[in-house]
Structure 1
Amino acid sequence: MPDERPEAAAPPARFDTSWCATDLGAYRPCRFTYAYYPYESLPPLDSAQYTGAFAWLGGPTEPAPDRLAALDRLAAALAAEGVALPRDFVTCLADAKLRFSLDDVSVTGCWTDVSEPLPSPVEPGAFLVRFLRDQQDCVHWYLHLSPSGEVFVVHSSVDYADLYEAEDGDDGAWPGLADPEDQEDTILWCAPSFEEFAHRFWIENRLWRALQDGDLSALSPQEHAYLRHYAPSGTPT
């Protein structure tokens, strides 16, 4: 069964933080497809709203049997290693309506791609599960699952699923990697829970589309507030 324990509310000291995303027009420029923005510079979100109900997406509908079976297999493999999937992740990725929410809203062609358990290269006994990747593999987003029960989202330019397969690692080892401390610069904390990550990703991609279309009328009050956080003086929101 997925873990029901509370997820970490703040980044662990052992991880650097950043948010990897594209621009928000003139409000938040981006020179290339993606930029790393300091996490503390982001508009704050109320973590209390992330109960696993995904109310901001209208809530779940019904499980997709194929995805539920795949996630059950993944949960069993992780349980054998002493870690567990968070319930919000299972609720979203198993649901017939919610499962493609990030794919549908992404303006950079990101798509859902759930990996097998990957030993964390920075924490013994912890595991990564990739769940989202950029279409050109510029960035990959992972759950980071610790034996202590900590669950949070990290991102990296490294495809650890591909790297681990190439290295033919076993017993939690990464044969061809340098010292784990060297990997800490490539794995960056970006959200305290899967649902909070998903909501911020969803908001920002909706904002990008609205700004490109030049029509902000359909945005929610929360989305307008998010944009105002970045508004240069004199810029209409």
Structure 2
Amino acid sequence: MSEQPGSLLPPSGFDAAWCATDLGKYRACRYTYEYYSLESLPPLDSSQFTGVFRWLGDAGAPIPRQVRKLNGLARDLAARGLTLPRDFVTFQTTENLYGSLDEVSVTGCWTSISDPLPSPVEPGAFLVRFFRDQQDCVIWYLYLRPMSEVFVVYSHLDYEFEYEAWREGEETQTDLGDAEEQRAAILWCAPSFEEFAHRFWIENRLWHAVDDRELPLLEPRLQDYLNHYAPPGAPV
């Protein structure tokens, strides 16, 4: 399958980078996570992102408790003129998709869905946390704007905690009223939830393969991704 780059142009006002860990000797990482420029990433086949996650197989049956939770979140957002993306709802409410990123994460990341959180940089926009590192080194959010514009961002800040501390008059890690500081703390990383999930899933599976020295057993889509960093025949 030919690779076609997706939309990797971040919205105006946001810096962009992919936050991830190493891929063994093929991509270095100085700490637990590194910020990688969008230009350095392997392109993805945008035609596969149809909102049903066919690359993960059959979605399976709905999970009633998750359906109730996402319906409640959708109502909260609708009252603010915002809409949850269908791909996110599908992923978080079906038995064969929900938790897939937790299972593959090599750094102990886990699903953690928050209530709507006001964007500290843009009136009318909201954040919904959906995924976090086990030590909160990085936290991923849906960023929702009016007119159904939604993309994925991440930050080192847990905005749910920051807003709770601010409301209770406690000390916060950041100045929520400083728009410049907040823009520096929020980085764009994917144009849709499914594209984020796909790249995260591919890279974390690939990390296991590289670490376990199972490269000869790589399935084609993993090998194609790795070839971006180490083309066949190139020294590594």
Same fold (TM over 0.5): yes
Could you tell me which amino acid in structure 1 is paired with residue 93 of structure 2?
A
Separation in structure 1 between the aligned mates of residue 194 and residue 201 of structure 2, nearest angstrom: 10
- Partner in structure 2 of residue 50 of structure 1: 49
- Partner in structure 2 of residue 124 of structure 1: 123
SS class of match (2:75): helix
Cα contact 1:133–1:139 (8 A) shared by 2: yes
- Partner in structure 1 of residue 178 of structure 2: 179
Q: Please give the residue correspondences for 1:81-230 in structure 2 after superposition, counting only pairs within 5 Å.
A: 81-168=80-167, 176-230=175-229
Cα contact 1:127–1:146 (8 A) shared by 2: yes
Separation in structure 2 between the aligned mates of residue 140 and residue 127 of structure 1, nearest angstrom: 15
Separation in structure 2 between the aligned mates of residue 102 and residue 19 of structure 1, nearest angstrom: 16
Could you tell me which amino acid in structure 2 is paired with residue 76 of structure 1?
R
Label 1:61 to 1:15 Cα distance change in 2 as closer, same or farther (>3 A): same
Using the size of structure 2 for normalisation, the TM-score is 0.91
Separation in structure 2 between the aligned mates of residue 184 and residue 176 of structure 1, nearest angstrom: 11
The answer to which structure, 1 or 2, has the higher relative contact order (CA under 8 A, 6+ apart) is: 1
- Shift of the alpha carbon at 1:217? 3.7
SS class of match (1:69): helix
Structure 1: gaps spanning 5 or more residues: 1-7, 170-174
The yes-or-no answer on 1:234 pairing with 2:222 is no
Label 1:195 to 1:70 Cα distance change in 2 as closer, same or farther (>3 A): same
Identity of aligned residues (%): 62
SS class of match (2:81): coil
SS class of match (1:155): strand
Q: Please give the residue correspondences for 1:51-70 in structure 2 after superposition, counting only pairs within 5 Å.
A: 51-70=50-69
SS class of match (1:97): coil
| Greater CA drift, 82-91 or 181-190 | 181-190
- Shift of the alpha carbon at 1:99? 0.5
- Shift of the alpha carbon at 1:176? 4.9
Separation in structure 2 between the aligned mates of residue 26 and residue 79 of structure 1, nearest angstrom: 46
- Partner in structure 2 of residue 74 of structure 1: 73
Could you tell me which amino acid in structure 2 is paired with residue 189 of structure 1?
W
- Shift of the alpha carbon at 1:216? 2.1
Cα contact 2:8–2:38 (8 A) shared by 1: no
SS class of match (2:134): coil
Cα contact 1:15–1:184 (8 A) shared by 2: yes
Separation in structure 1 between the aligned mates of residue 149 and residue 162 of structure 2, nearest angstrom: 24
Separation in structure 2 between the aligned mates of residue 39 and residue 9 of structure 1, nearest angstrom: 7
- Partner in structure 2 of residue 29 of structure 1: 28
Separation in structure 1 between the aligned mates of residue 92 and residue 39 of structure 2, nearest angstrom: 28
Could you tell me which amino acid in structure 2 is paired with residue 58 of structure 1?
G
Cα contact 1:62–1:95 (8 A) shared by 2: yes
Structure 2: gaps spanning 5 or more residues: 1-6, 169-173
Could you tell me which amino acid in structure 2 is paired with residue 136 of structure 1?
Q
User: What are the superposed Cα offsets for residues 104-155 of structure 1, whole Å, 9 maximum, x if unpaired?
Assistant: 0000000000000000111110000000000000000000000132110001
Could you tell me which amino acid in structure 1 is paired with residue 62 of structure 2?
P
